[in-house]
Each structure stands twice: as structure tokens, then as C-alpha cells.
Amino acid sequence: MRRPWLWKGSAIGTLLVAGLIGGLVVAAAIGPEEESGHAMTGGDRILLDAGLSLLLTAAAVVGSFSFTSDFNTRSFYRRILVFQRGAAFTGRAASTTVVALLAGTTIGVLFGLAGELGVDRWHVSTHVVVAFAGVSGMGSLWGFAIGSLIRNHLLSLFVVPLSLVLPTAVGRQLGHFVDFLFPNLLSVWAKQGALESLRLDSLAGAAMWLAFVLGAGFWVFLKRDLA
């Protein structure tokens, strides 16, 4: 957990996402009046969807950088001198996930407070916080796995977000298959979970994709030269 860049990068990502969500909430507050209460309306769900999408992208980028920064500064080399490659990879992935969960929890609480204090249309709830934390944690692992395959800061900055938006962009060509890709499965679980209607099938599908990508990254890290 003694990784200054990871904490710094996660803090910056959290502030950016929180600021963007805050801007969206302010825009909603000064928009057309809606009935106040603690149940999300259609417009509120759009804000929720936007907040989760922003968090997923930011968490994935930070997750990828948490690998590439350690790789470029040769931190992995020093780690491997003490531990095995597998332990180094697993430890880095675990610490990245823990920090992402903390960041997602923070943003989930801030999102709830923004709705309660800013527009008085929703409130802080365990379901919302778990949805944001889950998206952050799984998104960071997705980015970490892709970063371990790419190993390049600049390339990861483009490839990681592209891997999250491409399924939607080519959705018409893929047909119903697009609903079974990682970002869409995770999005469905998070949105339904935040609205207190769990979709465990979507969560299981997203976890399977994540396990596949992480497994590929782990295997490549074990076999590939560190140069």
C-alpha cells in the first residue's frame, strides 16, 4: 500500500469525477423544477448513469497507470527481487483495487449528499454507495489488466477508455451480443443495484470478463520479458 503515485492518482481521479458529478447536479438544480422526494426520477437516473460512467472510465485509467507507472519506474523489478512475479502482480492488483474501492465509496457518498442537499431528490443509501464502489473496484482491475498487457502510459490512456466505449459505439453491428460485454454488464448491474434491484446475472457476467482479462494479463506477466 506504500505507493505514493497510486494514492495521488486516485485522489486526482476522485476529485475530477466528483467535480464533474457536482457540475451535473448543479445543472439539474437550476433546471426545470421536479417534485422533491427520495425516489429517483427519469432525469435523476440519467445523472446516476453519467456518474457511474465517469467513475468507470476514471477508475480504469488510474488502474492502468498503476501498472504502467510501476513498470516504467522499474518498481516491479525491485519487487520481483524480493517476491515471485505472481506475488508482485497480485499484490499490485490488490492494492489498486483497495484504493479504488475507497475512492468509489467516497464518490458514492458525495453523490448521495449532492442529491440530498443540492436538489433534494435522492439521498445517501447503501445501495448507491455499493454500486459506485463496485464500479470503481472492477473498473480499476480492468484497467490494471489492460495496462499490464500494453505497458505504455500514453497508449493506455487511449486504449483503456476505448475498451469501455467501443461496445456501445459498435452496438448496432454486434446486435444483442453487445449486452454481454463487460462495460454493459457492469453498467446494468450498477444502475439496477443503485435502484435497489440487484441483477446478479449481470454481475456474474462482468466478473467472468474481468477474470479472463486479468488471467491473460497475469499469464503474460509471468511469461513476458520485463525489459
Q: Is residue 227 classed as helix, strand or coil in its secondary structure?
A: coil
State residue 160's pLDDT score: 92
Q: What is the pTM of this model?
A: 0.85
State residue 222's pLDDT score: 84
Q: Please say if the pLDDT value at position 35 is more than 80.
A: no
State residue 192's pLDDT score: 87
pLDDT in tens, 54-67: 899 999 999 998 88
State residue 60's pLDDT score: 93
**How far lies 209's CA from each of 15, 90, 111, 142, 201, in Å?**
28, 18, 28, 9, 13
Q: How confident is the model at residue 125 (pLDDT cuts 50, 70, 90)?
A: confident
State residue 23's pLDDT score: 72
Q: Please say if the pLDDT value at position 27 is more than 70.
A: no
- CB proximity list for 132: less than 8 A, separation 6 or greater: 51, 52, 55, 104, 105, 107, 108, 111, 190, 194
b/e sequence 40-62, b meaning 16+ C-beta within 10 Å: beeebeebbeebbbbbbbbbbbb
Which of 38-47, 93-102, 176-185 is predicted with the least confidence, judged by mean pLDDT? 38-47
